[in-house]
Amino acid sequence: MTIPENLLTLRGTVVSGGGSIVDGVVVVDGGTIVHVGPAAEVPPQWRDLLPPPGDDLLLPGLIDVHCHGGGGGSFPDAGGAQDVRTAAREHLVHGTTSLVASLVTAPAEDLIRRAALLADAVDAGDLIGIHLEGPFLSPARRGAQNPADMVAGDPGLVGRIAAAARGSLRTMTVAPEIPGVADGVGAGDDVLGALVQAGALPSIGHTDASFEQTAAAIGRSTALLAGSRRITATHLFNGMRPWHHREPGPVPACLDAAARGALVVELVADGTHLGDGTVRTVFDTLGAEQVVLVTDAMAAAGMADGDYRLGPLEVRVADGVARLITSDGSVGAIAGGTAHLLDVVRSVVGAGVAVADAVSSATRTPARLLGLVDRGELAPGLRADVLVTDPDLHPRRVIRTGVEV
């Protein structure tokens, strides 16, 4: 029997939407999924096209909403389209079929210029949006960011960046305690209001805010969004004042909001940024619908140990862990991740989280967060983004819009 040119049949354990189908089948026609179900229930027209049973896992294409680069390419340092494409491709071939490119704190004109460059990559289909991590952050919780470029909240700068991004600005990480970020009254007179006006989501991070300051910023953001979408917490725990029982700070404020469905928390659950017990507890407390797994990856993702850059700062990677190089030549704070998102999913499963939940937090939850109604699950009518892995969650095949990468 001749197989139609645009038809693709995949067989294995389907893991999608928080559940699984043992010995399931996904049928793709062109760029669209046309059937998902048990192999025993495949319609007659596709029955003769079924591959034999195997041990493949069939997942939706992964969606990373916080990534600074990979494969030697860095979004904050990109000099042109090829640098952007190199970084995006590194993650694509490891199963991330939808990628948001993240910038770091930098001078205003640099951010505007890079936003325009990344918007070109969105238009070209290499990216799905842009995330700015800064410049309205707390120097006290700067992590791998340059404090010299951190500034007070400036709604006008948000507008200029959003204009350069041409509709591609998805999120911006902000510290609520910084003047001008969350102290406005009208719709556009602080950074939170300007972001919502631009169609972007505020994200709480790199902050030394109190519980009360954080809760107020979450409340203002929720009111500005009028319940239409949820804001996020940028890599919860990392780059935040630690949780103390008398001075709780931003972490429990974010957890409280997430438990109420007002916020989604990012976790860089790569085995370096967070302990397994922390990851497992957050999933057990909130559920996969309130957790988005991210890489926070920088240029060294997929590369050998060595020296790299993250914006203006020098980074040294040793044993797969990226850290800032300090002025005396030693290493300091963790400087982003070096994992692919599938590595993060595998690490989360290793921490004791169910496979279906880990996959959902890297697919369905980020899709819903960004309002992507055409992907994030394996279901008829959705975009044919499929990741095929072995039973241990190592990639075997990557399919984006029906085309094998």
Which pLDDT score, from 0 to 100, does residue 5 have? Answer: 72
Angle at 253 between CA 249 and CA 258, to 5 degrees: 150
Structure tokens at 221: 């953001």
The residue type found at 35 is H
User: Could you give the maximum distance between any two Cα atoms of the chain, in Å?
Assistant: 71
| Contact present, 297 and 339 (Cβ < 8 Å) | yes
Q: Say how far apart CA 159 and CA 60 lie, in whole Å.
A: 34
Which pLDDT score, from 0 to 100, does residue 57 have? Answer: 98
Which pLDDT score, from 0 to 100, does residue 4 have? Answer: 67
Which pLDDT score, from 0 to 100, does residue 360 have? Answer: 98
User: For the stretch 9-37, what's the b/e string if a residue is b when 16 or more beta carbons lie within 10 angstroms of its beta carbon?
Assistant: bbbbbbbbbbebbeebbbbbbeebbbbbe
Q: pLDDT tens across 121-165, in order?
A: 999 999 999 999 999 999 999 988 999 999 999 999 999 999 999
Q: Say how far apart CA 142 and CA 243 lie, in whole Å.
A: 17
CA 83 from centroid of its chain's CA atoms: 20
User: For the stretch 43-52, what's the b/e string if a residue is b when 16 or more beta carbons lie within 10 angstroms of its beta carbon?
Assistant: eeebeebeee
Q: How far is CA 139 from CA 150, 175, 312, in A?
A: 7, 10, 15
Domains delineated in the chain: 7-60+378-404 (2.30.40.10), 62-370 (3.20.20.140)
On the question of a cis peptide bond just before residue 135, with omega within 30 degrees of 0, the verdict is yes
Pairing of strands 395-400, 386-389: antiparallel
Alpha helices by DSSP H, listed for 60-140, are 81-92, 108-124
| Contact present, 74 and 91 (Cβ < 8 Å) | no
Which pLDDT score, from 0 to 100, does residue 229 have? Answer: 94
SS3 sequence of 302-362: CCCCEEEEECCEEEEEECCEEEEECCCCCEEEECCECCCHHHHHHHHHHCCCCHHHHHHCC
Whether this model's pTM surpasses 0.85: yes
Task: Please enumerate in sequence order all residues whose Cβ is within 8 A of that of 125, keeping only pairs 6 or more positions apart, or say none.
Answer: none
Structure tokens at 127: 């990216």
Q: For residue 337, what are the β-bridge partners?
A: 297
Q: Provide DSSP, 164-232.
A: HHTT-EEEEEE-TTSTTTS--SSTTSSHHHHHHHTT-EEEE-SB---HHHHHHHHHHHHHHHTTSS-EE
Structure tokens at 282: 């957050």
Q: HSE (CB half, 13 Å, CA atoms) of 39?
A: 16
Q: For residue 233, what are the β-bridge partners?
A: 204, 265
Which pLDDT score, from 0 to 100, does residue 2 have? Answer: 53
Which DSSP symbol is given to 106?
A: -
- Regions of the chain where pLDDT drops below 50: 1
Q: pLDDT tens across 27-45, in order?
A: 999 999 999 999 999 999 9
Task: Please enumerate in sequence order all residues whose Cβ is within 8 A of that of 211, keeping only pairs 6 or more positions apart, or say none.
Answer: 247, 248, 249, 250, 252, 253
Q: How far is CA 254 from CA 69, 120, 251, 260, in A?
A: 27, 33, 5, 10
